């Protein structure tokens, strides 16, 4: 029996590609060149399933143009805001994601951003790399400790809970808001807030861990910032479009926010120009899941979806 053909839009870790090639006839660019949507749609005519990444924006107009032979799409990501699930359902396309591999890796990056922001790490590294360090001084780059500080987590799913677990190791007091209140065993002492406003009022540190939805997009604006304690530190490892960049940058410039640690940006890789010259920012190029253990698991979960769909079963990580 001939192998099914699948399109993988980007290069993936060696172990993931080896598993894919063992089971399928894989179509992909050897040089990891980003595929444009038109190229994806054209290539899709000759394959049986798509394994895409968050770079391939499959909105309704794209799904409506998808060849009739495509009934399986699996995304190498936990997020699915790049996919129009309703359009996929209307076309009878099964869609799955890779929800578990990112949890620990992203929580670690959030913790790194909290630490780096609190201790002004980017300013210190800049001083070294630009050969501008004059030597130790009592008031040089004085930041703050984490212990005893209140960490507010907006979005208390798997990643939010994993961040809480790590922050407890730094003796932070954990608070959270989510549309679902977690049972005590998952909350593990975290203090639940009935409203976002209540959470904001106590959050000396504020971590954004919510999904990108019509309700959350650009929620972090000047009105939300005004409800945080003066000089709060904010980190975002969720999605860039949860933040109003103009309002964030203005608050950082004025000192209303002391620091921001950001791993994701609206419109990435083209980010708001205002961030580049802000010294009180700790900026990463979307490193949340960039650990080999995480990327391997993401790839295996994406392939699990395709395997199941070809076998006539429900995807284990089904979205549509």
| CATH number, residue 78 | 3.40.50.720
Per the residue annotation, which of 17, 29, 268, 272 is the catalytic one? 268
pLDDT higher than threshold 90 for residue 13: yes
Check whether residue 178 and residue 66 sit in a common domain. no
Catalytic site includes residue 239 = yes
**Within a domain: residue 63?**
yes
pLDDT, position 187: 87
Percent of the chain clearing pLDDT 90 (strictly above)? 97
Per the residue annotation, which of 175, 193, 239, 295 is the catalytic one? 239
pLDDT, position 1: 67
Check whether residue 84 and residue 159 sit in a common domain. no
* Residue 203 pLDDT class (50, 70, 90 cuts): very high
Check whether residue 127 and residue 272 sit in a common domain. yes
Convert the pLDDT of each residue in 22-61 to its tens digit.
Answer: 999 999 999 999 999 999 999 999 999 999 999 999 999 9
Check whether residue 277 and residue 300 sit in a common domain. no
Check whether residue 250 and residue 188 sit in a common domain. yes
**Within a domain: residue 11?**
yes
Tokens 């968050």 map to which residue? 54
Q: CA of 290: how far to CAs of 71, 123, 262, in Å?
A: 29, 23, 15
Q: Say what the alpha-carbon torsion angle 178, 182, 187, 193 is, to the nearest 10 degrees.
A: 40
pLDDT higher than threshold 80 for residue 14: yes
**Within a domain: residue 315?**
no
* Residue 226 pLDDT class (50, 70, 90 cuts): very high
The residues with which 137 forms a beta bridge, in sequence order, are none
- Please count the structural domains in the chain: 2
Cα Rg for the chain, rounded, in angstroms? 21
Q: Give the predicted TM-score (pTM) of the model.
A: 0.93
Sign (positive/negative) of CA torsion 175, 227, 154, 102?
negative
Check whether residue 177 and residue 209 sit in a common domain. yes
Catalytic site includes residue 268 = yes
**What length does the chain have?**
320
Range of the domain at 74: 5-101+292-310
Check whether residue 124 and residue 195 sit in a common domain. yes
* Residue 198 pLDDT class (50, 70, 90 cuts): very high
**Within a domain: residue 316?**
no
Check whether residue 96 and residue 174 sit in a common domain. no
Q: Where are the alpha helices (DSSP H) in 84-232?
A: 85-90, 102-118, 121-129, 158-168, 184-187, 196-202, 222-225
Check whether residue 161 and residue 245 sit in a common domain. yes
Check whether residue 229 and residue 301 sit in a common domain. no
**Within a domain: residue 319?**
no
**Within a domain: residue 320?**
no
Mean pLDDT within 256-263: 98
Convert the pLDDT of each residue in 155-188 to its tens digit.
Answer: 999 999 999 999 999 999 999 999 999 998 888 8
**Within a domain: residue 211?**
yes
Catalytic site includes residue 11 = no
- Across all residues in the chain, what is the average pLDDT? 97
Check whether residue 226 and residue 251 sit in a common domain. yes
pLDDT higher than threshold 90 for residue 104: yes
Check whether residue 196 and residue 152 sit in a common domain. yes
pLDDT, position 210: 96
**Within a domain: residue 318?**
no
Percent of the chain clearing pLDDT 70 (strictly above)? 100
pLDDT, position 287: 97
pLDDT, position 184: 86
Percentages (nearest 5) of helix, strand, coil residues in the chain: 35, 15, 45
């Amino acid at each position: 029996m001939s192998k099914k053909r699948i399109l993988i839009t980007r290069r993936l870790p060696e172990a993931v590609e080896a598993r894919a090639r063992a089971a399928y006839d894989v179509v992909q660019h050897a040089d990891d060149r980003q595929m444009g949507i038109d190229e994806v749609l054209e290539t899709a005519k000759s394959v049986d399933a798509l394994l895409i990444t968050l770079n391939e924006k499959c909105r309704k107009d794209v799904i409506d143009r998808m060849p009739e032979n495509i009934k399986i799409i699996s995304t190498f990501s936990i997020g699915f805001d790049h996919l129009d699930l309703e359009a996929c359902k209307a076309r009878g396309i099964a869609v799955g994601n890779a929800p578990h591999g990112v949890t620990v890796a992203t929580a670690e990056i959030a913790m790194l951003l909290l630490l780096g922001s609190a201790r002004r790490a980017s300013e210190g590294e800049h001083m070294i790399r630009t050969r501008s360090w004059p030597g130790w001084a009592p008031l040089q780059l004085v930041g703050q400790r984490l212990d005893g500080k209140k960490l507010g987590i907006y979005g208390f799913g798997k990643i939010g809970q994993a961040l809480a677990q790590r922050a407890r190791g730094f003796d932070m007091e954990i608070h959270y808001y989510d549309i679902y209140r977690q049972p005590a065993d998952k909350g593990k002492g975290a203090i639940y807030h009935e409203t976002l406003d209540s959470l904001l009022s106590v959050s000396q540190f504020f971590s954004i861990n919510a999904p990108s939805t019509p309700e959350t997009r650009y929620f972090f604006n000047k009105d939300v910032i005004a409800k945080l304690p003066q000089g709060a530190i904010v980190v975002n490892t969720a999605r860039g479009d949860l933040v109003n960049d103009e309002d964030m940058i203005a608050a950082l410039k004025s000192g209303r926010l002391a620091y921001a640690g950001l791993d994701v940006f609206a419109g990435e890789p083209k980010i708001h120009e205002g961030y580049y010259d802000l010294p009180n920012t700790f900026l990463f190029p979307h490193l949340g899941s960039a650990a080999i253990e995480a990327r391997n698991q993401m790839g295996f979960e994406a392939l699990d979806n395709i395997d199941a769909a070809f076998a006539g079963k429900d995807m284990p990580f089904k979205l549509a």
